[in-house]
Amino acid sequence: ELKVEQNPLFLSMQEGKNYTIYCNYSTTSDRLYWYRQDPGKSLESLFVLLSNGAVKQEGRLMASLDTKARLSTLHITAAVHDLSATYFCAEQGAQKLVFGQGTRLTINP
């Protein structure tokens, strides 16, 4: 059964700091997604990682994929309050997206 695990599940950090969210998945899937969700809102697509070694960056967020280690990371650089949200990674299974538990990120001034 496909399983995706994120850590940490909760993260409180100060503005200006750097941190990384980790996403471990269970199969040899070569497709990994990162989504952002604000409270009460839908899922916003951040990154689609399609191959081993893929690295994508958008603003203060950078995502990478290591299919051999079955690991994806979402790195936050010099965090700002606007990045406070819940972040999900999801693995593309044969039939569906399998989501991690989500990481609730709170960035304090």
Partner 1 sequence: KAGVTQTPRYLIKTRGQQVTLSCSPISGHRSVSWYQQTPGQGLQFLFEYFSETQRNKGNFPGRFSGRQFSNSRSEMNVSTLELGDSALYLCASSLAPRAAEAFFGQGTRLTVV
Residues making contact with partner 1 (CB under 8 A): 31, 33, 35, 40-45, 48, 50, 88, 90, 92, 95-102
Residue closer to partner 1 by CB (options 62, 97) is 97
Compute the least distance from the CB of residue 1 to partner 1, in Å: 10
The per-residue DSSP string of 27-64 comes to S--S-EEEEEE-TT--EEEEEEE-STT-EEEETTEEEE
Compute the least distance from the CB of residue 43 to partner 1, in Å: 4
Six-digit token pair at 71? 């690991």
Six-digit token pair at 30? 């070569």
Q: Let me know: does 25 contact 91? Beta carbons within 8 Å.
A: yes
Compute the least distance from the CB of residue 12 to partner 1, in Å: 19
Compute the least distance from the CB of residue 31 to partner 1, in Å: 8
The per-residue DSSP string of 79-103 comes to --GGG-EEEEEEEE-SSSEEE---E
Residue closer to partner 1 by CB (options 25, 33) is 33
